């Protein structure tokens, strides 16, 4: 598949997707959105692909936000009638059941921060900077920033960032629970791809199940979440990969997964 605004490569069982508008700091316009939706749908549908990494081209930005030039003259009625920004969540979060990682290589601002937070987790370069500066444009986050950032870093920091537009550096982002890990920029892609390959080598049904369970923690009560976890665990015990995984442990050999 080839796209104009993103690059997509398969590295073994890992799909690497790169936002590719470095001249505009990878700002997210509607063409990028269409390309991303198609790339994520292809990743989800291809049984040979088990984990994805999303990053930005260039050293400066993961994505500096939704495309301000595209939004500037757009009438409010269009934002509303097109339910602008809704397709990101429905395609990248809800329909993508396989795991994916955001490798944040620089600015992740506004929609860029929100896109990174749609990932299952973020690995950040030491140069990464996160922010929700929409207030300075007379608006507010529109792709989940006020909700996902608050859940990730808590009210105090999320509120401060949304109200002042201040950016959070990589070290603070790790300390605050926004990112899983910080690595030197030069190692970012290798580290993200290595982590993705590790996930891709796991039993695939169990990978989807683990993702589903952790995500449920954000949507349910503790009691409902723990029940869902127990039921999914019980379902997994019926899989061939469970039989193989436990046999392989007992026989002191690596497991061979069928995804069944």
In the complex, the residues that contact ligand HXC under the rule CB under 6 A are: 24-25, 27, 64-69, 107, 109-111, 133-134, 137, 139, 141-142
Cβ nearer to ligand HXC, comparing 14 with 117: 117
Token pair belonging to 172? 């603070």
Residue 51 or residue 92: which is nearer to ligand HXC going by CB? 92
For residues 142 and 113, give the distance between their C-alpha atoms in angstroms, rounded to a whole number.
11
Tokens encoding 4: 């104009």
Task: Identify whether 244 is a catalytic site residue.
Answer: no
Nearest residue to 133 via CA among 153, 107, 171: 107
Q: Is 212 a catalytic residue?
A: no
111 belongs to the catalytic site:
yes
- The least CB distance from residue 13 to ligand HXC, in Å, is 32
Q: What is the CA radius of gyration of the chain?
A: 19
Task: State yes or no: is 134 an active-site residue.
Answer: yes
Min dist. Cβ of residue 126 to ligand HXC (A): 17
Q: Which residue is nearest to ligand HXC (CB)?
A: 110
Select which of 52, 63, 112, 134 is catalytic.
134
List C-alpha distances in Å: 211 to 62, 122, 191, 207, 214.
23, 14, 20, 6, 5
**Which residue number, 64 or 153, has a Cβ lying nearer to ligand HXC?**
64
Catalytic residue among 56, 61, 102, 114: 114
Burial 45-66 (b: 16+ CB within 10 A, else e): eeeebbbbbbbbbbeebbbbbb
* Cβ proximity to ligand HXC, 105 vs 210, nearer residue: 105
Residues labelled catalytic = 66, 111, 114, 134
């Amino acid at each position: 598949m080839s796209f104009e605004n993103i690059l997509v490569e398969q590295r073994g069982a890992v799909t690497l997707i790169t936002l590719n508008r470095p001249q505009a700091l990878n700002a997210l316009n509607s063409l990028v959105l269409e390309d991303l939706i198609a790339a994520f749908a292809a990743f989800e549908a291809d049984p040979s692909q088990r984990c994805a990494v999303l990053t930005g081209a260039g050293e400066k930005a993961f994505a500096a936000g939704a495309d301000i030039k595209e939004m500037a003259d757009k009438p409010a009625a269009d934002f509303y009638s097109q339910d602008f920004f809704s397709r990101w969540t429905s395609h990248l979060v809800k329909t993508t059941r396989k795991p994916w990682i955001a490798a944040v290589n620089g600015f992740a601002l506004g929609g860029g921060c929100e896109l990174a937070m749609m990932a299952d987790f973020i690995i950040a370069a030491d140069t990464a900077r996160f922010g929700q500066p929409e207030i300075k444009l007379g608006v507010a986050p529109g792709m989940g920033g006020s909700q996902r950032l608050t859940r990730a870093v808590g009210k105090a920091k999320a509120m401060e960032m949304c109200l002042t537009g201040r950016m959070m550096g990589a070290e603070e982002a790790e300390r605050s629970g926004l990112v899983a890990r910080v690595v030197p920029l030069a190692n970012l892609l290798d580290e993200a791809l290595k982590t993705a390959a590790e996930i891709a080598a796991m039993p695939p049904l169990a990978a989807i199940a683990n993702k589903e369970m952790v995500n449920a923690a954000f949507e349910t009560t503790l009691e409902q979440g723990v029940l869902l976890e127990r039921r999914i665990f019980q379902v997994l015990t019926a899989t061939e990969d469970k039989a193989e995984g436990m046999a392989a442990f007992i026989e002191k050999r690596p497991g061979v997964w069928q995804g069944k």
